[in-house]
A and B are shown apart, each in its own frame.
Chain A
Amino acid sequence: MNPRIAALLERYAPPVLGGILILLAWEFLPTFFHVSRLLLPPPSSVVRSLWLIYDRGLLVENFAVTLAEALLGFTIGSVTAIFFAFIVTRSLIVERTLMPYLVGLQALPKVALAPLIVVWVGIGIESKILIAAIISFFPVLINAIVGFSTVEAEKIDLMRSLVASRWQQFRIVIFPNSLPFIFAGLNVAIVLSITGALVGEFIGADRGLGNLLLQLNFNMDISGMFAVLMVLALLGIVLYALVRFLHVRFVFWAKPDNLRSGPN
């Protein structure tokens, strides 16, 4: 057999075959154990529900809304976090002033703020973006602070020996050096941003996959809920893969899985 095909089979056969087995079990075993098909709908039912939801025009728009909320919130939260990390590490005064509050806020579960934000900002898309931004902010902030503070002394010595300005030091050494750390934060934040968007939708929304989920729940359409969950999982995978792709592309000099130590 062609060695390349053999390698592909070795890699992908187990999860694919395992997945098929699970689907088959899921399809037929529940009735065998007298589990109601209403509570645990079989895959065939879920697929049918998915099609129905799509056919009614509920899938695409809600998917786009939740995607936009998560992505925009993630972007705003991450950029703000990197900015804050920059000013905290560049200025001792700023660090002393802000850090105690940032550390305190980090301990607070951000989802607890969600109801308040919906009250303040409304049930439109803005509140979800804000919640997603707040929830994305802290992982990126902490990682960026660590990244900006963790540079090999030799690299800084190199810049100092050339009498580089602080901005030059940041641009040429400190920022690129921190990218592995920042991406570690971004990997975490992207998944959290979906959670943020969903929680916002649960509390008060007229659109989005979370809102759809609640409506289906209200109508006891468990099969439909499963369908939406699968779509959400897909959303998560797509966004995570996007960040991962950027990670590998921009941090080509350090292995993406090396989360704790910097490059080299």
Chain B
Amino acid sequence: MTAAARPLIDIRQVRKQFRSRSGTFLEALTDTSLAVQAKQFLCIVGPSGCGKSTLLRLIAGLETVSGGTIAIDGVPILGPRRDIGLVFQSPVLLPWRTILKNVLVPAEVLKLDSASAHKRAQDLLQLVGLEGFGDRYPDELSGGMRQRAAIARALMHDPAILLMDEPFGALDALTREAMNFELLRIWQASTKTVVLVTHSIEEALLLSDKVAVFAPRPGFVREVIDVPMARPRTAATRSDPVFIGLAAKLRSYFELGASA
């Protein structure tokens, strides 16, 4: 990791507390630090409920930190930003709009030029493999297709940063595998920075340049591991001894339980 290059996303000693209904404070994140370089693909891996999603929401500006700082390109985050694209765990498509009109939502909100937005939306649908489905409604599509539409929508306003929160969690294993490679293909064709949250060690290693290991309750980044395997990654990557070694190493962090 080059210390000279300033990270695009700079997370320093971030703390996040939530107030529960009974009035007590729940510490979701404590002393969390992470640096994401530009154009990097970074995965955050950890068990459910360890604060990974909270961290992502903090980067997205949907929540504010209780302590510490998050800066994007040197500027502290004050709230949601339009240079970020979000993909949630569920597609969150608007059921009363067609797929095309769903993908166009960012263009509508940001008041982008209509004609070029339309063309771009069509291109994006083609990119994610949904060409011809633009006039269908979300309830006519399968889960995997809806998530692909959500990815197309996240790319609509061409954000520099993509934040994805277990985007393939609700899909079956086969679709998930296919989507992993689709995502790599899409990312490789762009210059975006991606932070993806997952609880799948294999997925994290397949996709990323770096993996941040998240420890739970309260959450913090325990370690960041380099993933030096060559790109483009393929199905054969899984048999790579480096892959297998890293997978075992990652697994060991989680098998030991919640040891701070």
Contacts and interface: CB of A to CB of B under 8 A. Distances in A.
B109 A172 contact: yes
Interface residues of A, number: 21
Contact of A168 (B61, B90, B109, B157): B109
B76 interface: no
Interface stretch (A76-84, A150-158, A212-220): A150-158
Interface in A115-136: none
Contacts of B139: 253
A203 interface: no
A163 B81 contact: yes
B232 interface: no
Contacts of B79: 163
A225 B255 CA distance: 82
B94 A161 contact: no
B106 interface: yes
Contact of B60 (A161, A173, A264): A161
A254 interface: yes
A162 B105 contact: yes
Secondary structure at the B interface, as helix, strand, loop or mixed, is loop
A208 interface: no
Interface string B74-87: 00000111101010
Nearest to B154: A161
Contact of B82 (A154, A162, A179): A162
B137 interface: yes
B92 interface: yes
Contacts of A162: 80, 82, 105-106, 109-110, 157
A83 B230 CA distance: 59
Interface of A: 152, 154-155, 157-164, 168, 172-173, 176, 179, 252-254, 263-264
15 contacts: A152-B92, A154-B88, A154-B90, A157-B62, A159-B109, A160-B62, A161-B80, A161-B86, A162-B82, A162-B105, A162-B110, A163-B79, A168-B108, A168-B109, A172-B94
